[in-house]
């Protein structure tokens, strides 16, 4: 591509396309957009600016949050990001040149190994952009592998994840079909009625969007009997108590790993997990790091099972994703290594116990559970007043009480999705219950 450097070259290019100046190319853009008034305040010294930013930050502090729905407030040890933000990690570029990227490749390999152990699967990739795009890629893999076009998804899968999947599939022959779940989980008998010889995959979420625990074994068996693949979307922290996808024979396991050492931000960054059984390894999207030996017999790491097809084969490639969330994956690797098996189990117990305590206290004070299914750390309550009013009232106390479900499910307009993690103390929960009771 030719880039003009001199004024003469620029003028020649403008003349070639038939305009006198660059501004003529912008005549259709309104001036209010092209040159909006800036209204900038007066300049500040560095010291004044730091103080101003600190004052603004103080206004953003929350007293407490009970909002989950895919983004969870967990404690992140200081050591996680103290290590992840070391210069050799934070500034590392994509590891195409293996001999110059052994540290980065090893970190990714260790991440893949931990994810396989966590999800109980044969192989994992180096990570995806987020949990929703990982789920969408899994649907594409299932459609290509089976040659079928029907993707079954219960309404208990996160609505935003379903939207991402529909966007991904909009240019493919595969289409999604949503199964209604009035009891808050997918009934295996209802699933059987929806399965057909065109079902490429069943994708379910466990714990699901309403917090309920699905009958994963029965769902998996029913889907496999029809020749469909099983895609399990899970919540990594919950796996400290729950069976991993590999134990109920899921073909593909995906997850949002924000809960593994990534703090909450304004929309990110997030981290998608993707793992599968070995039969699907060559259809798996994204990059994969493998372990090998160099000419001297030393352990070495390389990008493998790609040969750059993903980068240059366009529509023939498995996926157009040729990268990964390396820094976030590293932070999650450090987090999981620090936690260990017993730590993850203890963390899951804390989430489970505190959420059930909160649910029982809310029921005592006029907020009954909507669904009677077992749950992990999220649950749905029926509110005696509109949930939006509760959110507004709690906001004055700098508290996020949960997610009003009416925006996604009109039939749940009186319901609030509440999340409780290990961050909350008994005192926090009791104060929260009393706040809702007053409202």
pLDDT digits (tens, 9 = 90+) for 89-105: 888 777 888 888 999 99
154-212 pLDDT tens trace: 999 999 999 999 999 998 999 999 999 999 999 999 999 999 999 999 999 999 999 99
pLDDT digits (tens, 9 = 90+) for 167-183: 999 989 999 999 999 99
67-71, 166-170, 317-321: range with lowest mean pLDDT: 317-321
pLDDT in tens, 359-381: 999 999 999 999 999 999 999 99
Helical spans, DSSP H, in 120-257: 131-146, 159-169, 188-194, 216-225
pTM, rounded to two decimals: 0.88
**Quick check: 382 pLDDT over 70?**
yes
**Mean per-residue pLDDT for 124-133?**
96
Between CA 67 and CA 416 the distance in angstroms is: 10
**161 phi and psi, to 5 degrees?**
-65, -40
Name 84's Cβ contacts closer than 8 Å, sequence gap at least 6: 90, 327, 330, 331, 334
- For the record, the structure tokens of 281 come out as 């390894």
Per-residue pLDDT at 110: 97
Provide the β-strand partners of residue 422. Answer: none
Query: Looking at residue 349, what is its pLDDT?
Result: 98
Q: Which domains does the chain have, with CATH numbers?
A: 64-73+341-438 (3.90.1150.10), 78-335 (3.40.640.10)
Distance CA 143, CA 236 (A): 26
The answer to whether residues 374 and 212 touch, using CB atoms and an 8 Å cutoff, is yes
pLDDT greater at residue 7 or residue 339: 339
Q: Rounded mean pLDDT of the chain?
A: 93
């Amino acid at each position: 591509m030719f880039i003009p450097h001199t004024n003469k070259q620029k003028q020649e290019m403008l003349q070639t396309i038939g305009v006198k100046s660059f501004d003529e190319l912008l005549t259709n853009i309104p001036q209010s957009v092209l040159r909006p008034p800036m209204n900038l305040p007066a300049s500040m010294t560095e010291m004044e600016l730091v103080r101003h930013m600190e004052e603004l930050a103080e206004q953003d502090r929350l007293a407490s949050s009970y909002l989950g729905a895919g983004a969870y407030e967990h404690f992140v040890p200081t050591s996680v990001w103290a290590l992840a933000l070391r210069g050799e990690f934070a500034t590392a570029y994509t590891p195409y040149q293996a001999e110059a990227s052994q540290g980065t490749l090893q970190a990714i390999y260790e991440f893949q190994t931990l994810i396989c152990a966590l999800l109980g699967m044969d192989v994992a990739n180096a990570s995806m952009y987020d949990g929703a795009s990982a789920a969408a890629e899994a649907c594409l893999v299932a459609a290509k592998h089976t040659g079928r076009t029907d993707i079954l998804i219960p309404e208990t899968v996160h609505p935003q994840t379903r939207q991402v999947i529909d966007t991904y599939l909009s240019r493919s022959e595969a289409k999604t079909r949503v199964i209604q779940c009035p009891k808050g989980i997918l009934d295996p008998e209802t699933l059987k009625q929806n399965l057909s010889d065109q079902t490429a995959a069943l994708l379910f979420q466990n714990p699901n969007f309403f917090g309920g625990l699905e009958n994963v074994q029965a769902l998996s068996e029913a889907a496999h009997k029809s020749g469909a693949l099983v895609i399990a979307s899970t919540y990594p922290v919950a796996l400290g108590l729950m069976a991993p996808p590999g134990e109920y024979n899921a073909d593909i396991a995906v997850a949002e790993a924000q809960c593994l050492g990534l703090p909450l931000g304004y929309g990110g960054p997030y981290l998608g997990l993707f793992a599968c059984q070995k039969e699907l390894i060559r259809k798996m999207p994204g990059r994969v790091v493998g372990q090998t030996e160099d000419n001297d017999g030393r352990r070495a790491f390389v990008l493998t099972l790609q040969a750059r097809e993903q980068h240059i084969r366009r529509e023939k490639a498995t996926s157009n994703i040729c990268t990964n969330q390396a820094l976030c994956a590293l932070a999650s690797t450090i987090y999981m290594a620090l936690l260990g098996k017993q730590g993850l189990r203890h963390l899951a117990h804390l989430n489970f116990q505190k959420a059930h305590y909160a649910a029982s206290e809310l029921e005592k004070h006029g907020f009954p559970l909507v669904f009677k299914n077992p749950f992990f750390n999220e649950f749905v309550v029926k509110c005696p007043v509109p949930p939006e009013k509760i959110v507004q009232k709690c906001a004055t106390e700098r508290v996020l009480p949960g997610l009003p479900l009416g925006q996604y499910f009109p039939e749940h307009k009186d319901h609030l999705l509440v999340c409780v993690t290990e961050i909350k103390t008994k005192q926090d929960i009791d104060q929260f219950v009393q706040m809702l009771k007053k409202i």
